[in-house]
Amino acid sequence: MTTTTAADLDEETIARYRRDGFVRVRQVLTPDEVAEYHAAAVAAASRLNSRRSDGIFSQIVNVWRDDEAMRRLTLNPRIAALAERLAGVPLKLWHDQILIKEPHNARATHFHQDQPYWPHAGSTHPISAWIALCDVPVERGCMSFLPGSHARTDLPAQNLGDGRSLFALAP
């Protein structure tokens, strides 16, 4: 299977990312890589003690420091090259994280901005690469984005348990 590389990104996709703040890039990893990283993420989640839950999902941060497979994913040169091509500037890794939403958890992850939670909130080019390691169709709660909301860099942290929080801050 051929994977998508930075050279495959056309100007329209790059412009859409910069305008909307997100873009979906397909086939960044091969099915074999996805299977390997999924297994590694599940194994890491069961053995690492840094797991933290907010009732919506559990997260494990900086897994790349403790797990060789997660290191290969986090430092994957194809992903880094795609991110830099989209951002248009050299990027630096801040952290990785495994996010796990347990089965049968119907709690929503409300719209929010990640940047106010980061120590480098004043950065002009923050970027996240959300890589689903399992199928996440609409009925399972797929990721959604608000086009252009990335441009609102003046917002404080939102209340992740309140679905109206972001909209109260930025109607």
pLDDT digits (tens, 9 = 90+) for 124-144: 778 889 999 988 887 777 788
Closest CA to 85 of 135, 158, 136, 11: 11
Assess whether pLDDT exceeds 60 at residue 119.
yes
Domain extents in the chain: 6-108+116-143
The backbone region for 148, taken as left when phi is positive above 0, alpha when psi lies in -120 to 50, beta otherwise, is left
Tell me the C-alpha distance between 139 and 15, whole Å: 30
Pairing of strands 58-61, 97-100: antiparallel
pTM as predicted: 0.88
pLDDT of 27-66, one tens digit each?
A: 999 999 999 999 999 999 888 755 566 677 788 899 999 9
The fold of 6-108+116-143 is: Thiol Ester Dehydrase; Chain A (3.10.129)
